[in-house]
Amino acid sequence: MGKDVIIACDFDSKEAVFGFLDKFTEEKPFVKIGMELYYAEGPAIVREIKARGHRIFLDLKLHDIPNTVRKSMAVLSRLDVDMCNLHAAGTAAMMQAALEGLTREDGTRPMLIAVTQLTSTDQERMQNELLINAPIDRVVMHYAENAARAGLDGVVCSPLEAEKVHSACGKDFVTVTPGIRFADGDVGDQVRVTTPARAKEIGSDYIVVGRPITAAPDPVAAYRRCVSEFID
Ligand code: C5P
């Protein structure tokens, strides 16, 4: 398992994403394709980006009955993505079905990562709307442990939680961490942010970086700065 920087390609069209990726003439960054781009352009965009030599984290956050998730994951696996995800709230049965669906005939499969509680859900909403009464930190860790027990490879979490996740679920259980900003950069709408260098110290395995790279005046330089802070 390698430490890497994943660029969140939050674009709404093929033209916009290729305009961005064309700037990378020397390296082939690992990219995250989310719902916006996938729903705009369909599976063809995944095949095209893959054909250009990028590794892909397909961030579609599946959450449905186990049978539907199993069959949908089989389709995503055939797209040859490297990482995909689901909501741990779908239960262990759904997570195990997802793993079955993802596993190809030769036994290989993309990495499967769980979303625990979305960072947009706070304690109050979780209690009032979802009727979950445990403290949110406990819920996040419990979902991570469920995902580990179901055989998943890791979770999406804050870099600030990476250490705790590793101690509860094992050091090989992968932490994929958004909320990354340069020390001298704009925070935007993220609340708790961490620099790439700090994420490395705390033990994140993959950092997901969007606007600090995509909105930078020189995205390639910003990507290289992330790599040098986080990996080198
Ligand atoms: O532009 P920025 O670096 O904030 O992008 C972060 C990416 O990570 C976005 O694609 C966002 O949807 C995603 N993400 C996040 N926080 C989470 C889960 C996913 O920022 N808890």
DSSP structural state of residue 189: T
What kind and span of H or E run contains 59? strand 56-62
Return the pLDDT at 5: 98
Ligand 1, residue 190: give the atom nearest the CA: 4
Q: 43: how many CB neighbours lie within 10 A of its CB?
A: 14
Distance from Cα 193 to the centre of ligand 1, integer Å: 11
pLDDT at 103 over 90: yes
Helix, strand, coil distribution of the chain in percent, nearest 5: 45, 15, 35
Ligand 1 contact via 156 beta carbon (within 6 Å)? yes
Return the pLDDT at 145: 98
pLDDT at 2 over 80: no
Q: Give this prediction's pTM.
A: 0.96
Give the pLDDT mean for 22-26. Answer: 98
Average confidence score pLDDT of the chain: 96
Ligand 1, residue 157: give the atom nearest the CA: 21
Return the pLDDT at 123: 93
pLDDT in tens, 190-218: 777 899 999 999 999 999 999 999 999 99
Pick the CATH number of 4-230 from 3.40.350.10, 3.20.20.70, 1.10.240.10, 3.40.50.150: 3.20.20.70
Which residues are tagged catalytic?
A: 61
Ligand 1 contact via 127 beta carbon (within 6 Å)? no
